Amino acid sequence: MKAVYTFYQQRNLPFPVRTLLLNFFARVYQEGEMNLHINRSQSKVLTCWLAGLPQQLVLLGLKNPELSEQLIGIIYSAASRANKEILQSLQAAAPLIYDPLDGAVVLLPPESQQHLIQLLYFVPHLPSNLLASLSRCCIMGKLSVELTTTLIRILRIRSSFVAWKYPAQGSSVSDVGYISFLFSTLTGFSSEEMSSLQSIRGKPHINQTLLSPVQLYLTDLEQFSHHWTMAEVVSQCLSTIPSQSQCIDIVQSGICKYLVGLTVVPDSTAGVILCVFSKLLDQVYVLNENASRFLASLCYSLLYLLLTIEREDTEHIQKRDVLWNSCISILSTSLQILRVMLQTLQVNHASRDELPVLAQLLCLLMQHRQLQTHMKTSEFLVKQIVKDIMVLKSDEAQEQWLTDLHYNFNVYLATHSPGSGAVSTLY
């Protein structure tokens, strides 16, 4: 047995020979697991053989996918039996196996990827650097949507938040590491990618408005859909954290640390941030000033995008429903964000082309049933914006969009402030 193992350890063995030897050791190992007779010398050789399998997987990679799949199967079998040697070796090799650039998890075919993702359940500890790599695997789109979802849910099972409820397996993921993984996956882009986006200017990639400090980078539909699916799973994970106020505090801190101050944000990132916050926030939670202004800017930028998408732009128009729902959800949930958005709309900074869009947006907000209560509370701000628009356009011919604004505002006043009179009497 020892001589066979020495032969097996040679680096340049032909793949058919290595496969035969692998099958031989796997059979001997299985016989030992079934408590059949195996002497001490054989046991020591098998221990060394098992311990070397994860590193062999790292070295083999994509050179022989079939042999890699066999290795994964043996590693999984031993890990599921809590074999001490394989678990220690797997822990050491995990950063290389799950490397987002050239690890086996992103190089091998989907079936092998699935087995490697499932193997995460048995890796003894998942430190922050490994979680960061796993987040990159999710973000980069090298895993299918289904595998990405499975990965996130396995980490949720491994976290203390689920372990509290189902104590069958102890927590092996720190709370800080887990939350960091969720937040980085939620944003959908690495910090390096976000930095590179800041230098992009102009169409077709950037949708720009003068009334928001945040411009939107338009992602392609495939990337957008992948990001949105990930965000829905992350949102479910965040909702299971027992202290929701603490959860909001953590996500808010992440936004202030990593996103506030950016002048270009992907449209998918803007949408999922608003969507998740609308699910986490309640009516009484007060966001800090930086977070509220940033979320309000995201909201206006998205609404501006949705009102200016060309009908012929079939790729981006397919995003419209989910992005619109995210904006309306956050505005109906948080009066604070609605008021900040209205307060920061400096009409005199708008271009001639943007004024009709702003007027259309105001009409939609005034008409929307979900926003009736908040819009009533924000009546003074709405009046001021409409007044500023009217003043700017007072010397020009009445255009249709201005007539529509005039009409909707009068309806809005009649609904929320009976007896206040028509818009023309305000000035």
What are the Cα distances from residue 148, in Å, to 106, 109, 297? 12, 15, 30
Which of these three, 280, 301, 336, is where a domain ends?
Answer: 336
Whether residue 274 sits in one domain with residue 385: no
Which of these three, 101, 125, 146, is where a domain ends?
Answer: 101
- The chain-wide mean pLDDT, for the chain, equals 87
Whether residue 359 sits in one domain with residue 314: no
Burial of 184 (0-12, 13-18, 19+ CB in 10 A): buried
- Dump pLDDT digits (tens) for 374-418: 999 999 999 999 999 988 876 666 688 988 998 999 998 888 665
Q: Would you say residue 158 lies in a domain?
A: no
For residue 167, what pLDDT is reported? 41
Q: Would you say residue 114 lies in a domain?
A: no
Q: Is the pLDDT of residue 6 over 80?
A: no
Whether residue 381 sits in one domain with residue 268: no
Q: Would you say residue 67 lies in a domain?
A: yes
Amino acid identity at 44: K
Q: Would you say residue 91 lies in a domain?
A: yes
Distance CA 90, CA 72 (A): 11
For residue 41, what pLDDT is reported? 55
Percent of the chain with pLDDT over 90: 60
For residue 247, what pLDDT is reported? 87
Q: Hunting for tokens 């419209």 — which residue is that?
A: 320
Phi/psi for 299 (5° steps) reads -65, -50
Structure tokens, 306: 């949705």
- Dump pLDDT digits (tens) for 89-105: 999 999 999 999 999 99
Give the pLDDT band of residue 141 (cuts 50, 70, 90): confident
Q: Hunting for tokens 């079936």 — which residue is that?
A: 111
Whether residue 321 sits in one domain with residue 189: yes
Q: Are strands 206-207 and 215-217 parallel, antiparallel or unpaired?
A: antiparallel
Structurally, the chain folds into a number of domains equal to 3
Whether residue 314 sits in one domain with residue 391: no
Summarize the confidence of residues 80-88 as an average pLDDT: 91
- Dump pLDDT digits (tens) for 259-294: 999 999 999 999 999 999 999 988 788 999 999 999
Q: Would you say residue 145 lies in a domain?
A: no
Whether residue 363 sits in one domain with residue 275: no
Summarize the confidence of residues 330-349 as an average pLDDT: 94
For residue 33, what pLDDT is reported? 62
Q: Print the domain residue range for 247.
A: 185-336
- Dump pLDDT digits (tens) for 201-230: 777 788 889 999 999 999 999 999 999 999
Distance CA 322, CA 225 (A): 10
Q: Is the pLDDT of residue 185 over 60?
A: yes
Distance CA 319, CA 228 (A): 10
Decide if 411 contacts 366 (C-beta within 8 A). yes
Summarize the confidence of residues 14-29 as an average pLDDT: 75
Structure tokens, 416: 């929320």
